[in-house]
Amino acid sequence: GFERGISNSGWTQYANEGGGFTVHLPNDPKEESTQVEIPKVNKVLTLQEVTSHQNQKVFYSVTYMELPRKWKIAGATRLLKAGLDILVKHTPEAVLVNKQFTKHQGYRSLDFHLKQGEDEVKGRLILVGTTLYKLTMTYPLSLEQEVQEDNPFLDSFDLSAANR
């Protein structure tokens, strides 16, 4: 039981200049950029993703994208709901367990919990102006207690740099 490889000590702060945030991650992250086509509105959005693996079964991700300005008229609640719907629809085997609207540093956000096959996915969507951030922790159900205990990930996500 003691050698599961989950430890929250030794996390490091990662600063992302382009995304305007800092966050604590267990290891040096890998950064990726993907183009996402939105055919109904004839748009291509750039999705930036930062991932960090704690071990082979537990990983963390911060994804962000700049939404078109005119989408802001839909309102934060509607955009967050739509973002979650798209996330569930495009994640293989994903089933929404629960969701709850909340605030993160004064910004409208939506916490969610998904079941994805044998894994649990807990995360938060945050809308800052026209930037949509998605934070996720993915882990097997058997490691839930260790992952949740003193986990700095979600609460360490700091958007101070986004206000500059």
pLDDT tens digits, residue range 112-136?
999 999 999 999 999 999 999 999 9
Interatomic CA distance for residues 131 and 143, integer angstroms: 32
Decide: helix, strand or coil at residue 12: strand
Name the percent of the chain lying above pLDDT 70.
Answer: 89
Per-position b or e across 67-80, b if 16+ CB within 10 A of its CB: beeeeeeeebeebb
What are the start-end ranges of the E strands in 54-105?
A: 59-66, 94-104
Total-model pTM: 0.87
Residue numbers in the chain where pLDDT is lower than 70: 1-9, 39-42, 161-164
Identify residue 9 by its one-letter amino acid code. Answer: S
Interatomic CA distance for residues 29 and 54, integer angstroms: 10
- Extract the tokens encoding 154: 């979600």
Chain centroid to CA 115: how far?
Answer: 15
